[in-house]
Amino acid sequence: MNDKFYEINVLNQDGSCQNLREYEGKVLLVVNTATGCGFTPQYKELEEYYREFKDKGFEVLDFPCNQFLEQAPGNDTEINQFCSLKYDTTFKRFKKVLVNGENKCDLFKYLEDACPYKGKGLKMGMLQKLSHAKDNEIRWNFTKFLVDREGNVVARFEPVDKMDKIKKFIAELVK
């Protein structure tokens, strides 16, 4: 059991604090998202995977982020309404966060250290230049981290990774 992961606190949309211990024993896909990004249509697959695997202990944890070209404008309520209406999302969405820089949230600090960036070719190189990301920092919206039932970060998926590849990883972990 990886207690360090489960000791992390995050903020719900209403600003209340939530400990990740609530998700102990579940397979998690933690995603930084944006409503106005070229990758925003990935919400469709995220919701499909959530519905397919939630009864097997799978959760999507959505953390909106406005750090990349301000592609997540609006407040938390507006973002939630957009996602619910446009993509019929039903998975948990948290308060907007910073995923890079001095004030990044503790969860993304942990995720970046646990599963470093490995480089993903020309598209990711271009996104890195736009984002000015350093070392293991998030390059863009819709970076995903897969966490097993023990709280171990087992994979990092960049926004350009094929969603069906991610689904295969999830399916293996929820068996």
Q: At what angle do helices 76-87 and 42-53 cross, to 10 degrees?
A: 80
> Does the domain at residues 3-173 carry the CATH identifier 3.40.30.10?
yes
Residues counted in the chain:
175
Among 17, 37, 65, 115, the active-site one is 37
- Say yes or no to pLDDT of 121 above 60: no
pLDDT per position as a tens digit, 51-103: 999 999 999 999 999 999 999 999 999 999 999 999 999 999 999 999 999 99
Going 126 to 129 to 131 to 135, the CA torsion angle's sign is positive
* Catalytic site includes residue 37: yes
Spell out the domain ranges in the chain. 3-173
- Say yes or no to pLDDT of 120 above 90: no
| pTM recorded for the entire structure | 0.93
CA–CA distance, 69 with 74 (Å, rounded to integer) = 13
